[in-house]
Amino acid sequence: MARPRLRAGAYPSGVAVILVVAAAVTRQPAIVIIAAGALVAWLVVEVTGRLALAAVEVEVSATPERLVAGEELDVRIVVTNRKPLPLPWLDLSLSLPDGLEPIAGRPQRQTVGAGFAPRGHERATLVFRLRARERGAHAIGPLRLRAGDWLGFTSDDRTVPLDVSVVAYPVPLSVRDRRVASLRPLAETAARRGLIPDPLRFRGVREHRRGDPRKEIHWKASARLRSLQTKVYEPAASLDAIFLVNVASYEQFWVQADPEAVEIVISATAELIRMAADGGRQVGLVTNGLDNVTHQRPRSALGRGPRPLRRSLDVLARLGPYAAASPEAVFLRERGRLASGATLIIVTPVVPRRLADAAVALRHAHHRVLVLSVAPISEAIEARLRSQDVACETLLSVQAARLA
CA 320 to chain centre: 12
How many CA atoms are closer than 13 Å to the CA of 154, on its beta-carbon side? 24
CA distance linking residue 289 with residue 318, whole number of Å: 10
Is residue 173 within 8 Å of 143, Cβ to Cβ?
Answer: no
Domain co-membership, 158 together with 228: no
Give the model's pLDDT for residue 200. Answer: 56
Say which CATH number the domain at 271 has.
3.40.50
> CA quadruple 365, 369, 374, 380: dihedral positive or negative?
positive
Amino acid, res. 311: R
Q: Which residues of the chain have pLDDT under 70?
A: 1-5, 105-108, 174-202, 233-239, 256, 396-404
In 292-394, where do the E strands start and end? 299-303, 319-323, 343-348, 368-373, 391-394
Compute how many other C-beta atoms are within 10 angstroms of the C-beta atom of residue 227: 10
Domain co-membership, 262 together with 391: yes
Domain co-membership, 249 together with 385: yes
* H or E stretch covering 248: none
Give the model's pLDDT for residue 6. Answer: 75
Query: pLDDT per residue over 216-272, tens digit each?
Result: 888 888 888 888 899 886 654 456 889 999 999 888 888 767 888 899 999 999 988
CA distance linking residue 28 with residue 347, whole number of Å: 90
Give the model's pLDDT for residue 234. Answer: 60
Domain that holds residue 318: 173-192+238-403
CA distance linking residue 324 with residue 333, whole number of Å: 14
Domain co-membership, 35 together with 57: yes
Domain co-membership, 276 together with 212: no
Amino acid, res. 375: A
Say which CATH number the domain at 13 has.
2.60.40.10
Domain co-membership, 244 together with 354: yes
Q: Number of structural domains, the chain?
A: 3
Give the model's pLDDT for residue 194. Answer: 43
> CA quadruple 322, 327, 331, 334: dihedral positive or negative?
negative
Compute how many other C-beta atoms are within 10 angstroms of the C-beta atom of residue 323: 24
Long-range Cβ pairs for the range 330-335 (8 Å, 24+): 330/286, 330/287, 330/288, 330/297, 331/244, 331/286, 331/288, 331/358, 331/362, 332/358, 332/361, 332/362, 334/244, 334/286, 334/299, 335/361, 335/362, 335/365
**What's the angle, vertex CA 287, arms to CA 234 and CA 182, rounded to 5?**
80
Domain co-membership, 203 together with 150: no
Domain co-membership, 188 together with 284: yes
